[in-house]
Homo-oligomer: A and B are copies of this chain.
Amino acid sequence: MASSSSLTLSQAIFSPSLPRHGSSSSSSPSLSFSTFSGLKSTPFTSSHRRILPSTTVTKQQFTVRASAAVETLEKTDAAIVEKSVNTIRFLAIDAVEKANSGHPGLPMGCAPMGHILYDEVMKYNPKNPYWFNRDRFVLSAGHGCMLQYALLHLAGYDSVQEDDLKSFRQWGSRIPGHPENFETPGVEVTTGPLGQGIANAVGLAVAEKHLAARFNKPDAEIVDHYTYVILGDGCQMEGISNEVCSLAGHWGLGKLIAFYDDNHISIDGDTEIAFTEDVSARFESLGWHVIWVKNGNTGYDEIRAAIKEAKAVKDKPTMIKVTTTIGFGSPNKANSYSVHGSALGAKEVEATRNNLGWPYEPFHVPEDVKSHWSRHTPEGAALETEWNAKFAEYEKKYAEEAADLKSIITGELPAGWEKALPTYTPESPADATRNLSQQNLNALAKVLPGFLGGSADLASSNMTLLKMFGDFQKNTPEERNLRFGVREHGMGAICNGIALHSPGLIPYCATFFVFTDYMRGAMRISALSEAGVIYVMTHDSIGLGEDGPTHQPIEHLASFRAMPNILMFRPADGNETAGAYKVAVLKRKTPSILALSRQKLPQLAGTSIEGAAKGGYIVSDNSSGNKPDVILIGTGSELEIAVKAAEELKKEGKTVRVVSFVCWELYDEQSAEYKESVLPSSVTARVSIEAGSTFGWQKFVGDKGKAIGIDGFGASAPADKIYKEFGITAEAVVAAAKQVS
């Protein structure tokens, strides 16, 4: 079973190609650009270099509909830009007003940069929001989502119609209170929790840089797009954004362009009360190119020039600090926190209409604005067509690479990939599941073209290196080992960006299981936004020993079992580890966590890939008629203990079933019949053992059963000693079994 995908390469529209500003396609050198300033005067170039010295005119490669292009350009005069920008502002104002809830301030301040991005700079196809080579846009300051919805509406995306705007933040609406990729085609990633968006954007840019390096050829630049992001003061304050921006600088993500909406207002008022650092200097220290647009409210040409400059810097990401006025246009509320997160109110809406000279009804898009934006539908279709033609050429010349890229674009896994998964017998050597995990990772990387990942500075402890690949670095971006440094939160969110770039990109990331506490914000977004990231979490219990309680997970298994749409695996040996990976790879819309041992574990009889895929299954049983005297349930490293206890009890004449509960969520999905066959309701004598919190285990052991676990913090000592002192032993299981049966 391969994961399904709605994306195909076959959505080509066979019309002549059409150039757009800032796109990589060629253009007619005879067009006049005299009415444009800044970016608009950039001559179009061949696909190899986007921006050349302004005197250079390069050879035309594709047929160009010059007349359409000219029409487009003629209309883009200052008046229509201003009108379009005000349309964006009022769509945001009106939608928030109707919902009586939302954040009008950011859209009002950022409308100019939003307009320039979607109308003049970005390449996209509104009728196919998933077209592979589109530029990506991320609104990291997700509360300002009406900016993005207004832009998608104007640009012609089917997902945001006038009726949608009128149902903003209502039950069943396609445009919810924060941008959700799974609700609104055209929204790339889920944002709202601050800092996640800029981190996702770094992930998107990593994906582009990696794919471009792997698949582009001297005669075919098949991967070539930018990632744009708008982030606010809130994003800047979050630690995660410093983590990922440090990495973006390190990796030299030249096609990442971030707009910092520098409006000096956050919820508690002026940023002076908590945020007085020199943000520009910080970004320079992180290796970014920094530009300051001093007038973000009306300085269209400044914004255009900044983007042009940003694109000219190829070896560094660029931060464009755009100083804006939050709530621009509102005579009484602009530049104050009161416009950040509440509707303006009828009176102030009226005052703003007067102030900006906006005579229209709510939600009205003036005809000339509509007409101006209408070109994006044919242009976008043409862009995709052009790219499809390019890809067809590419496929002819580079069949193997094209097949890999296609798999990445569509998410269709290569046939038979799962045969690469290793299997084990009880005779296979005992090993830590972290090592067995590495065998799986390396096996998968050989057969899955989109498999890549790394660790937060623990590769040699998490055992996550892909041995056949080098490091993804600034000058070796074609490689697949990512070095995240000690930046867990950023790592998770970057992986979300990678996963959401293309359905066939399957990122994994790793740290000690306890440090999921540092990255839980990103992991929850994986779950919510259906990003199938694989979290390789080693050192999964007190079994790590001497490092002590700061490093020993206790409540972590329970905390993730409670989280929606994430699979919490705790495999016991090689077969279960392979089973967990099989499911994790297949579940492209559900992230998976693998909790793996530091310590050696035996390969157990009765474990299997198929069993693990059911979440809970019988490993051994000497009873008949589905009625053992007692059921022992274990997970991970404690399954071995359950097996040992069963041996003891069997010696005493008991019938004993041992059940492995490698993934509760998968077990919950099984049929009632299957569950009854594993945990018959008539057998209430049940004992579970797990070196972690007993919280939640009552669900399986029931009122009459007993859960053995650890409900306090761990300790620093050799692992065996801790297990013994904490009573995580076969003796304890035997005693409990006698007590309950």
Binding site for B on A (CB under 8 A): 99, 101-102, 142, 169-173, 176-178, 180, 190-194, 233-235, 237-243, 246-247, 249-250, 266-268, 271, 273-282, 284-287, 337, 455, 457-461, 471, 473, 483-490, 514-515, 517-518, 520-521, 524-525, 527-528, 545-551, 554-555, 558-559, 561-565, 693, 695-696, 698-699, 702-703, 711-713, 715-718, 721-722, 725
Flag if B177 contacts A490 (CB, 8 Å): no
Once A194-B486, A565-B713 are accepted as A-B contacts, the answer to whether A239 and B237 lie under 8 Å apart by CB is no
Q: Is the CB of A486 within 8 A of B550?
A: no
> Given A99-B546, A549-B180 in contact, is the A249-B266 Cβ separation under 8 Å?
no
Residues of B within 8 A of A515 (CB): 193, 521
- Specify how many copies of this chain sit in the oligomer: 2
Q: Nearest Cβ distance between residue A313 and chain B, in whole angstroms?
A: 17
CB distance from A524 to the nearest CB of B (A): 6
Interface contacts beyond A193-B550, A242-B243: sample of 18 additional A-B pairs, CB < 8 Å, sorted by A: A169-B718, A170-B721, A173-B716, A177-B716, A238-B239, A238-B486, A239-B239, A239-B241, A250-B275, A266-B457, A276-B287, A277-B285, A279-B285, A555-B562, A558-B562, A558-B695, A564-B712, A698-B699
**A239 with B489, Cβ < 8 A, contacts A273-B483, A515-B193 known:** yes
* B699-A268 in contact (CB<8A): no
Q: Is the CB of B520 within 8 A of A486?
A: no
Among A173, A549, A558, chain B packs the most CB atoms within 10 A around the CB of: A549
What CA separation (Å) do A180 and B489 show in the bound complex?
A: 24
Interface pairs (21), CB distance under 8 Å: A170-B717, A170-B721, A171-B715, A180-B548, A191-B550, A237-B243, A237-B485, A237-B486, A238-B243, A239-B240, A267-B457, A267-B461, A268-B458, A273-B471, A273-B483, A280-B285, A281-B285, A282-B286, A515-B521, A559-B562, A564-B711
Q: Which residue of B lies closest to A236 (CB)?
A: B486
B487 and A237 within 8 A (CB) = yes
| Least Cβ–Cβ distance between A491 and chain B, in angstroms | 10
Instruction: Name which of A99, A190, A488 has the most chain B CB atoms within 10 A of its CB.
Output: A488
Task: Report yes or no: B238 in contact with A250, Cβ–Cβ below 8 A.
Answer: no
B562 touches A549 (CB 8 A): no
Chain B residue nearest to A474 in the complex (CB): B276
Min CB distance, A502 to chain B, in Å?
23
Cβ A268 vs Cβ B457 within 8 A:
yes
Q: Does A268 contact B695, Cβ atoms closer than 8 Å?
A: no
Q: Give Cα A268–Cα B282 distance, bound, in whole angstroms.
A: 25
Task: Specify which of A487, A515, A517 lies most central, judged by the most chain B CB atoms within 10 Å of its CB.
Answer: A517
Chain B CB count within 10 A is highest, among A268, A698, A725, for A268
B277 touches A250 (CB 8 A): yes
| Docked CA distance A341–B518 (Å) | 21
Residue of B with least CB distance to A522: B517
Given the known inter-chain contacts A247-B274, A267-B457, A268-B460, please indicate yes or no for A525 contacting B550, CB distance below 8 A.
yes
Asked whether A716 lies within 8 Å of B274 as measured between CB atoms, the reply is: no
Whole-angstrom distance between the Cβ of A587 and the nearest chain B Cβ: 16
Which residues of B have CB within 8 Å of A267? 457-461
Chain B residue contacts of A487, Cβ below 8 A = 237-239
Note all chain B residues with C-beta closer than 8 A to A243.
237-239, 242
Closest 3 CB pairs of A and B: A239-B239, A274-B485, A176-B716
